């Protein structure tokens, strides 16, 4: 099971990211040039990512996920095109592989009937940019029933987890086109994830928990209580409190324990890397709940938001101190109470300012203004990356955060699938 008392720590040779986000700097990008096009032409000169992943994700899977995505994956997972290489359960494993890159952002995100940016003025014919860290964290993918719904969802029969063991080999691209081989392969990966995320290494059948499964509202209340430090009688920590808890969704019944453990792995991976990368100047963490990836959940992002808050509180109560975090800002347009829930979660970390993300971009300018605690810190953004396709490199700017950030930044170049340093720093 995951460790509630520590974050992942990069090895000493891992580079740190320097710079601050509350001042602009002039780049070599000529004014009027699309930033993505410019940086992609020069991608080999850009810094590659550092990649923080959970111990149970095999290194060859990490390499495969970073190198072999298709160009675009808008609204789809595995497709029987004869060319896809990332299966649905490989995509689910990408949840626990977190790339982070230093990025030049040439505008601040704004939503105007679609994703857009407030572009920065040029200086002497060259574009200005803001230094940020981009986390290409794969959000829990409940866009359809094909990815994490298959992992966290209960079936008609008991699901017994089983680790992959040493020497695991990835199916070849041609073998994956065989439906029976791919299904058996994905089932092995599903069993592997369950083994590592559930204390009993198994999930019960639906019929075994139908009578006791929580409603979405009840699950949210329980997670809010855990986020405020209220543990049920007899529970040693939040993770233990969810061992036998399940929640009813339109798509079936999900394991709350697995959802919590999944978020715990993500934040141990990501925040451990950020604490290291931003040593010195600190970081302002922003988070945009990915509505599209929560399509199959009754409350959309609300259940996942509260799971995140419960995980953060559990880490803090376990002894983790977010030494270099200066602020935690969440997009709350569809969840107006989540800021309050997160303030309870961070009660033991008074140096962290918790606020709505939109307070960082005040009107009328809607450009970045850090809170007092974030002066001189580096801003952390999420592109809500896709596990199955390189949308940040191919998508237009209005459809998603992935497309918008891709268009107005250097991120696609640093994450280029053929970047010579793409897998230089993996831990």
Res. 150: pLDDT tops 90: yes
**Alpha-carbon gap, residue 294 to 382, rounded angstroms:** 16
Confidence of residue 290 (pLDDT cuts 50, 70, 90): confident
pLDDT of residue 84: 95
Res. 2: pLDDT tops 80: no
pLDDT of residue 398: 83
Among the listed residues 381, 197, 143, the one whose alpha carbon sits nearest the alpha carbon of residue 283:
381
Which residues have C-beta within 8 Å of that of residue 294, sequence separation ≥ 6? Answer: 140, 142, 143, 300, 301, 303, 304
Tens-digit pLDDT profile for residues 408-422: 999 999 999 999 999
Average pLDDT of 38-55? 97
Confidence of residue 168 (pLDDT cuts 50, 70, 90): very high
pLDDT of residue 1: 56
Task: Calculate what percentage of the chain has a pLDDT beyond 90.
Answer: 93
Mean per-residue pLDDT over the chain, rounded: 96
Token couple for 113: 């009937």
In this structure, the strands spanning 202-203 and 159-160 are antiparallel
Tens-digit pLDDT profile for residues 231-283: 999 999 999 999 999 999 986 999 999 999 999 999 999 999 999 999 999 99
**Alpha-carbon gap, residue 78 to 87, rounded angstroms:** 5
Confidence of residue 299 (pLDDT cuts 50, 70, 90): confident
CA 347 from chain centre, in angstroms, equals 23
Which residues have C-beta within 8 Å of that of residue 266, sequence separation ≥ 6? Answer: 95, 96, 98, 137
**Alpha-carbon gap, residue 340 to 354, rounded angstroms:** 9
Confidence of residue 79 (pLDDT cuts 50, 70, 90): very high
Tens-digit pLDDT profile for residues 372-409: 999 999 999 999 999 999 999 999 988 899 999 999 99
- Tell me, yes or no, if the pTM score tops 0.75: yes
Judging by beta carbons within 10 Å of its beta carbon (0-12, 13-18, 19+), is residue 222 exposed, middle or buried? Answer: buried
pLDDT of residue 399: 83
pLDDT of residue 196: 98
- Rounded to the nearest 5°, which phi and psi values hold at 284? -105, 115
**Alpha-carbon gap, residue 408 to 34, rounded angstroms:** 7
At 133, is the secondary structure helix, strand, or coil? strand
Enclosing H/E stretch for 21? none
**Alpha-carbon gap, residue 295 to 119, rounded angstroms:** 31
Tens-digit pLDDT profile for residues 20-29: 999 999 999 9
* C-alpha to C-alpha distances, 354 to 96, 122, 238, 286, 367, nearest whole angstrom: 25, 33, 21, 10, 19
Average pLDDT of 332-358? 97
pLDDT of residue 232: 95
């Amino acid at each position: 099971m995951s460790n509630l008392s520590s974050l992942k720590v990069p090895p000493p040779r891992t580079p740190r990211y320097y710079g601050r986000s509350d001042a602009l700097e002039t780049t070599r990008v000529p004014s009027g040039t699309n930033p993505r096009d410019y940086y992609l032409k020069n991608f080999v000169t850009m810094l590659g990512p550092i990649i923080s992943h959970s111990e149970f994700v095999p290194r060859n899977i990490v390499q495969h996920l970073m190198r072999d995505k298709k160009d675009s994956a808008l609204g789809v997972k595995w497709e029987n095109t004869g060319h896809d290489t990332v299966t649905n359960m490989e995509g689910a494993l990408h949840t626990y592989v977190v790339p982070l890159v230093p990025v030049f952002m040439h505008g601040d995100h704004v939503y105007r009937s679609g994703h857009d940016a407030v572009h920065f003025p040029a200086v002497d014919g060259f574009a200005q940019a803001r230094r940020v860290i981009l986390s290409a964290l794969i959000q829990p993918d409940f866009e359809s029933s094909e990815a994490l719904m298959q992992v966290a969802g209960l079936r008609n029969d008991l699901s017994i987890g089983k680790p992959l063991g040493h020497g695991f080999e990835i199916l070849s691209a041609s073998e994956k086109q065989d439906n029976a081989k791919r299904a058996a392969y994905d089932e092995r990966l599903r069993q592997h994830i369950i083994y590592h995320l559930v204390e009993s290494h198994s999930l019960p059948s639906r019929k075994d928990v139908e009578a006791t499964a929580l409603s979405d509202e009840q699950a949210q209340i329980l997670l809010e209580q855990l986020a405020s430090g209220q543990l049920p009688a007899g529970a040693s920590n939040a993770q233990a409190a969810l061992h036998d808890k399940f929640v009813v969704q339109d798509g079936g019944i999900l394991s709350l324990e697995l959802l919590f453990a999944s978020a715990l792995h993500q934040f141990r991976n990501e925040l451990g890397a950020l604490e290291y990368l931003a040593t010195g100047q600190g970081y302002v963490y922003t988070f945009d709940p990915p509505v599209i990836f929560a399509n199959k959940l009754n409350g959309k992002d609300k259940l996942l938001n509260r799971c995140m808050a419960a995980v953060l509180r559990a880490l803090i109560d376990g002894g983790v101190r977010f030494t270099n975090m200066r602020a935690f800002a969440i997009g709350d347009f569809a969840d107006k109470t989540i800021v309050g829930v997160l303030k309870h979660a961070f009660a033991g970390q008074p140096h962290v300012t918790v606020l709505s993300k939109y307070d960082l971009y005040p009107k009328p300018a809607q450009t970045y203004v850090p809170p007092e605690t974030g002066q001189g810190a580096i801003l952390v953004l999420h592109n809500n990356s896709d596990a199955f396709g390189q949308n940040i490199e191919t998508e237009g700017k209005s459809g998603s955060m992935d497309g918008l950030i891709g268009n107005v930044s250097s991120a696609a170049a640093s994450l280029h699938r053929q970047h010579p340093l793409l897998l230089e720093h993996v831990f």
